[in-house]
């Protein structure tokens, strides 16, 4: 296991200043390039589409080979394919060798679990992606976005098939204006469009930007050619508690720090067999932590049922934890007293107190109790799993985070919650 080189931890007072510096310089809608032959994502995509039976040798002309009504299916398949081990290896290497140094990030970093692959056709003028920001989609302030076109869109005439973007400074100003004036989608398209510029990139280059840069197609693709691109996000551990709704392990996956770790992990077989240990699987639902507080138990239950069906696990009954009791007595009872496995919503539904939490997890591992964490698709079945789970919780600074885990806190949501500040202070 690699020891993370821990640069001197940024002092609490300076942490926002350091993040602000990074966001407004290196990550402010800057295009970076690299040797494409080392990470040929565009060729990989082209080959996958060919593998689906379509004849083409240039992604710019995909609309001539793939029938319109099959494009959505192709897009979804490509998104799913980005989780294939061979793609993941190339991507992780790319993140370590290009994004981390060029973006001046520090390890450990986590990467979005599924890439977004997008196909923008020249034949569907009514379909284009309106302007937006990551914050408005529930992403946290410290998350970083990468937009990578697989077709060359550097020419001026390719403007409408590229992506349009605005500086972080201008974006902050205009988003506030849009909120204050309650602008419609059309008004925003007008206002943001005027200030936007075309990202000029192609295979071997990408735009790095923040969750505050306004971006989008903003207009129909009238170039006559298709654009295929991929976008995804990365996050640094140092700001692991500034990721809004996109919490680590569910949305973000920690990637190995080195190629050697990558090899070791690849050698580990998937252990679905271990889940069948003869014990009943019992559902556990609760609203006792920041990230489960607002998730109704019937929605948690849907996720648990879906997970069990996918994994062919039988399930028995359900226990609910006692609201207000942050020591989660029901969970403790299941772990310490029952001979069962536990199916629960998330690792972020575990107790926030680290020593108590570790005691429960270690007891479960010792007693052969498997705990399934559905949202993250993580399972506690052995000591290695325990290490992985602890790494994710540490990444998110669970229990000592500066903002509640799983809640977006922009200036606007702060105002939103402040509505109740007065009555809450008087309550009880
Ligand atoms: Fe976006």
- What digits encode the pLDDT tens for the residues 334-359? 999 999 999 999 999 999 999 999 99
pLDDT in tens, 161-170: 999 999 999 9
Could you tell me which residues come within 8 angstroms of residue 414 by beta carbon, excluding any fewer than 6 positions away?
A: none
Question: Is the pLDDT at 302 greater than 70, yes or no?
Answer: yes
Distance 208 CA to ligand 1 centre (A): 12
pLDDT in tens, 313-335: 999 889 999 998 989 999 999 99
Q: What is the mean pLDDT of the chain?
A: 90
Q: How confident is the model at residue 171 (pLDDT cuts 50, 70, 90)?
A: very high
Structure tokens at 378: 């993580």
Distance 317 CA to ligand 1 centre (A): 41
Maximum C-alpha span of the chain: 69
CA-CA-CA-CA torsion for 293, 295, 297, 299, nearest 10 degrees?
-170
Distance 165 CA to ligand 1 centre (A): 10
Distance 314 CA to ligand 1 centre (A): 39
Distance 234 CA to ligand 1 centre (A): 14
Distance 422 CA to ligand 1 centre (A): 36
For 128-259, strand residue ranges (E) read 144-149, 164-165, 197-198, 205-210, 215-216, 227-236, 252-254
Find, among 252, 219, 220, the residue nearest to 236 by Cα. 252
Relative to beta strand 318-320, strand 280-285 is parallel
Distance 260 CA to ligand 1 centre (A): 33
């Amino acid at each position: 296991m690699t020891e993370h080189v821990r640069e001197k931890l940024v002092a609490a007072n300076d942490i926002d200043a350091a993040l602000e510096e990074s966001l407004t310089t290196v990550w402010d809608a800057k295009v970076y390039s690299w040797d494409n032959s080392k990470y040929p994502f565009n060729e990989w995509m082209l080959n996958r589409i060919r593998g689906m039976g379509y004849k083409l040798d240039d992604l710019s002309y995909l609309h001539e080979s793939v029938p319109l009504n099959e494009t959505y299916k192709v897009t979804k398949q490509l998104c799913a394919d980005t989780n294939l081990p061979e793609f993941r290896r190339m991507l992780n290497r790319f993140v370590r060798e290009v994004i981390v140094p060029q973006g001046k990030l520090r390890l450990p970093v986590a990467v979005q679990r599924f890439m977004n692959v997008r196909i923008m056709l020249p034949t569907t003028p009514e379909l284009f992606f309106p302007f937006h920001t990551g914050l408005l989609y529930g992403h946290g302030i410290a998350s970083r976005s990468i937009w990578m076109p697989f077709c060359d869109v550097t020419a001026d005439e390719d403007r409408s098939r590229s992506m349009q973007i605005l500086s972080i400074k201008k974006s902050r100003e205009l988003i506030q204006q849009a909120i204050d004036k309650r602008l419609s989608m059309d008004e925003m398209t007008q206002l943001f469009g005027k200030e936007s510029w075309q990202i000029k990139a192609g295979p071997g280059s990408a735009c790095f930007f923040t969750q505050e840069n306004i971006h989008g197609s903003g207009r129909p693709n009238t170039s006559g050619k298709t654009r295929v691109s991929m976008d995804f996000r990365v996050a640094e551990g140092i700001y692991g508690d500034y990721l809004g709704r996109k919490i680590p392990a569910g949305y973000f996956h920690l990637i190995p720090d080195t190629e050697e770790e990558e090899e070791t992990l690849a050698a580990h077989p998937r252990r679905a067999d271990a889940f069948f240990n003869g014990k009943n699987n019992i559902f556990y639902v609760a609203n006792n932590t920041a990230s489960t507080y607002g998730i109704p138990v019937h929605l948690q239950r849907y996720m648990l049922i879906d997970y069990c069906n996918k994994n062919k696990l039988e399930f028995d009954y359900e226990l609910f934890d006692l609201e207000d009791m942050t020591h989660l007595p029901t969970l403790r009872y299941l772990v310490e007293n029952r001979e069962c496995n536990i199916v629960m919503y998330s690792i972020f539904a575990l107790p926030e107190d680290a020593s108590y939490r570790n005691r429960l997890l270690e007891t479960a591992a010792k007693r052969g109790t498997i705990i399934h964490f559905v949202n993250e698709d993580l399972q506690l079945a052995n000591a290695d799993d325990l290490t992985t789970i602890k790494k994710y919780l540490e990444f998110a600074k669970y229990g000592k985070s500066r903002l509640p885990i799983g809640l977006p806190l922009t200036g606007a949501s702060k105002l939103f919650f402040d509505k109740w500040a007065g009555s809450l202070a008087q309550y009880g």
